[in-house]
Amino acid sequence: MSTENLISVEVTPEDKEAIEAAIRVLEDKLMPYLTALTPAQRKSLPKMSDKTTPFVDKVKEYFTTAPEFIPAFVSLPEFNKDYEANAMLTSFLRKLEPVIGGLDDTRLLTGSECYKPALAYYNSVKVAAKMNVQAAKEIYNELKKRFEGQGKAPEETTPPTA
């Protein structure tokens, strides 16, 4: 196990406060406009992706230049509202993606750097418990709960074929 420290992050109290304030602003200003979908709803919806966007852009142009082909059930004002909202939300998301990606990567790395020494401590306690150190046994019995049910899976036996 490596003892190399891959990251050392310490956010100042002032920066933490400013970041939390910025998050509150995003929550306060953005959440009223957002909708939560179930996994089934997400799966059932047709998706507008980078390949689909030029198609939708071209249809938007045709709505203006050839409106006679707009189906009666299509509301042009609602389409335009959704189109503008989609463009704005896509812009927000693209600006946030690098921040969210970096936040997730850094959280993963700092978590890993916490978990590795915790595992080293656990293994040290485990060895001490096997050597009948009473205090280690108590600690080991508490910490081993994290790994219950994670033993080796029984080997599958294949019945002989005739």
| Tens digits of residue pLDDT in 123-133 | 999 999 999 99
DSSP 79: H
C-alpha distance across the termini of the chain, in Å? 48
Q: Can you give the pLDDT at residue 65?
A: 98
Please state the domain count of the chain: 1
Token digits for 160? 């002989």
Calpha distance 125→117 (Å, rounded): 12
Q: Can you give the pLDDT at residue 2?
A: 54
The one-digit pLDDT tens for each residue of the chain (162 residues) are 456 899 999 999 999 999 999 999 999 999 999 999 999 999 999 999 999 999 999 999 999 999 999 999 999 999 999 999 999 999 999 999 999 999 999 999 999 999 999 999 999 999 999 999 999 999 999 999 999 988 776 666 666 665
Is 133 part of any domain?
yes
Q: Can you give the pLDDT at residue 154?
A: 63
Is 109 part of any domain?
yes
Is 42 part of any domain?
no
- Determine how many CB atoms are found less than 10 A away from the CB of residue 103: 11
- Determine how many CB atoms are found less than 10 A away from the CB of residue 125: 21
Specify the pTM: 0.76
Calpha distance 124→140 (Å, rounded): 9
Q: Can you give the pLDDT at residue 155?
A: 65
DSSP 158: P
Is 4 part of any domain?
no
Residue 80: which domain range? Answer: 49-147
Q: Can you give the pLDDT at residue 4?
A: 84
HSE of 135 in the Cβ direction (CA atoms, 13 Å)? 1
Calpha distance 2→5 (Å, rounded): 9
Q: Can you give the pLDDT at residue 151?
A: 73
SS3 24: helix
Calpha distance 141→145 (Å, rounded): 7
Is 132 part of any domain?
yes
Q: Can you give the pLDDT at residue 69?
A: 98
Is 16 part of any domain?
no
Closest alpha carbon to 123 in 102, 107, 146:
146
Q: Can you give the pLDDT at residue 162?
A: 56
Is 90 part of any domain?
yes
In single-letter form, the type of residue at position 113 comes to E
DSSP 100: H
Is 87 part of any domain?
yes
